[in-house]
Amino acid sequence: MTKIRKAVIPVAGLGTRFLPATKAIPKEMLTIVDRPTIQYIVEEAVASGIEEVILITSEGKAAIENHFDYDFQLDTVLKEKNKVQLREELKNISNLIDIVSVRQKEPLGLGHAIWMARHVVGDEPFIVLLGDDLVRSKVPCCKQMIDLFERVGESIVAVQRVPMDQTHQYGIVEGEETGIERTYKVTHMVEKPAPGSSPVRLSGISWIGRAFPSI
């Protein structure tokens, strides 16, 4: 089985639920404490052994690519001002990991955004992380998924429990126990079930795909 080396992070959505904050700023660049959300996600990927990030971007998302790029002009100014620690911090961000960008020309949905990565991913397994879904955990969620994939060799979806009265806003999965702790075999999947119609409340937050269908 091939090792998971690549993470696809779709960031091409319009972010309408966060308007007006996201009119000119990508949702993934909104900060939590001292850094943009997307940085936490990329750091999680790095901490989990991922070697390459494939960002699926769209018009107006250049701030995300710029955030992980080296800014020569800024670095020169910081050097003149002797801001050693700040320079080091920015250098670490731009050296975090290799990042490749692919454009999704129209916001045709999350599935389509992931499909845009097929030529860069090739025929190896890959993980999909959402640019705005943070998971707090001692062992990163991404690493837990990679470890599980190495055990079972199947596509995996990490799920979160959502409030019962909000299931109609999510894709919901149902499953049966596999014998591996906290792991279920998906038996049923419904996209945004009608309010009150779903007895379960598990919704996907990140995925491992065994491979893209033949390309």
CA dist 213 and 215 (Å) reads 6
Which of 10, 125 has the CB closer to ligand UTP?
Answer: 10
Contact residue for ligand UTP among 56, 145, 202, 208 (CB under 6 A): 56
By the rule CB under 6 A, 23 interacts with ligand UTP: no
To which residue do tokens 């030529």 refer?
A: 119
What single string gives the DSSP state of each residue in 123-173? TS-EEEE-TT-----SS-HHHHHHHHHHHH-S-EEEEEE--GGGGGGSEEE
CA distances from 64 to 55, 58, 59 (A): 9, 10, 11
By the rule CB under 6 A, 107 interacts with ligand UTP: yes
By the rule CB under 6 A, 103 interacts with ligand UTP: no
Write out the binding residues for ligand UTP, residues 120-139 only, by CB under 6 A: 130-132
By the rule CB under 6 A, 183 interacts with ligand UTP: no
Q: Which helix (H) or strand (E) holds 187?
A: strand 184-191
Which of 49, 107 has the CB closer to ligand UTP?
Answer: 107
* Closest distance to ligand UTP from the beta carbon of 67 (Å): 15
Per DSSP, 214 falls in state P
Residue number, nearest CB to ligand UTP: 13
* Closest distance to ligand UTP from the beta carbon of 10 (Å): 3
By the rule CB under 6 A, 36 interacts with ligand UTP: no
Stretch that binds ligand UTP, among 42-50, 72-80, 100-108, 147-155 (CB under 6 A): 100-108
By the rule CB under 6 A, 204 interacts with ligand UTP: no
By the rule CB under 6 A, 17 interacts with ligand UTP: yes
Both tokens assigned to 81: 């001002």
Alpha helices in the chain (DSSP H): 37-47, 62-67, 72-80, 84-94, 110-115, 118-121, 141-152
To which residue do tokens 């045709």 refer?
A: 108
Binding residues for ligand UTP, per CB under 6 A? 10-17, 27, 56, 104, 107-110, 113, 130-132
